[in-house]
């Protein structure tokens, strides 16, 4: 199926969860989850029984990918629009996930764009756009997720 990471039955479940925790029943947010690596990781998590929220700029692409992944794995998969360069949008995404599911166990930051070109040809605006998504967007998503994760006992105190 175009845009999907593998054929039905070929999904491999994600690796082991943290000691004492099962992936089944966990909730994962995947930024950049509508395509590519993010969608492939989402498939592995869904196969392992995790509830998955796919997030990217396009609500339509996320919704379509979520519907296909849910049908293929039987897992609960939702799609939500979120531009990771927007502090407000990232905060809203986290709030929505906590309101809908009451927990956030896994964050995968796969939202990204590329800035291709030689030193002399790459436009500064393209480099900055890439840094904004890949670096700032990743930082914003991690910052939003860390509070509920720590409250749930993840990570160091
Ligand atoms: N594929 C590889 O072999 C490879 C290797 C090394 C590193 N990487 C890096 O890993 C990341 C993902 O790669 P990929 O191959 O999976 O890319 P991809 O197929 O182009 O997917 C990128 C994802 O990011 C989303 N996205 C882009 N800008 C966004 C934004 N501002 N906010 C939220 N979501 C956004 C896209 O959806 P929307 O367009 O709907 O927003 C899409 O879901 C990229 O940074 C890439 O450079 C990839």
Whether 114 shows a pLDDT value over 80: the answer reads yes
Mutate to test the pocket of ligand 1, among 5, 37, 84 (most ligand atoms within 8 A of CB): 37
Q: What's the confidence (pLDDT) of residue 3? A: 55
Find the mean pLDDT for residues 94-119. 97
CA–CA gap between residue 61 and residue 33 (Å, rounded): 9
* CATH 3.40.50.720 given to domain 27-151: yes
27-31: strand order across its sheet: 77-81, 51-56, 27-31, 106-109
114 CB within 6 A, ligand 1? yes
Mutate to test the pocket of ligand 1, among 29, 30, 31, 32 (most ligand atoms within 8 A of CB): 32
Q: What's the confidence (pLDDT) of residue 42? A: 98
Q: What is the pLDDT of residues 25-71, one digit of tens each?
A: 999 999 999 999 999 999 999 999 999 999 999 999 999 999 999 99
């Amino acid at each position: 199926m175009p845009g999907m990471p593998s054929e039905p039955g070929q999904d491999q479940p994600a690796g082991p969860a943290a000691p004492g925790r099962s992936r089944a029943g966990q909730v994962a947010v995947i930024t950049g989850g509508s395509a590519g690596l993010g969608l492939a990781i989402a498939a592995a998590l869904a196969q392992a029984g995790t509830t998955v929220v796919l997030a990217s700029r396009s609500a339509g692409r996320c919704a379509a990918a979520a519907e296909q992944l849910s049908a293929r794995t039987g897992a609960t998969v939702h799609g939500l629009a979120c531009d990771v360069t927007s502090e407000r949008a990232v905060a809203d995404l986290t709030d929505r996930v906590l309101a809908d599911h009451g927990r956030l166990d896994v964050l995968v930051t796969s939202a990204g764009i590329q800035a291709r070109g030689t030193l002399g040809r790459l436009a500064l605006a393209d480099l900055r756009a890439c840094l904004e998504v890949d670096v700032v967007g990743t930082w914003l998503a991690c910052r939003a997720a860390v509070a509920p994760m720590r409250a749930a006992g993840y990570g160091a105190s």
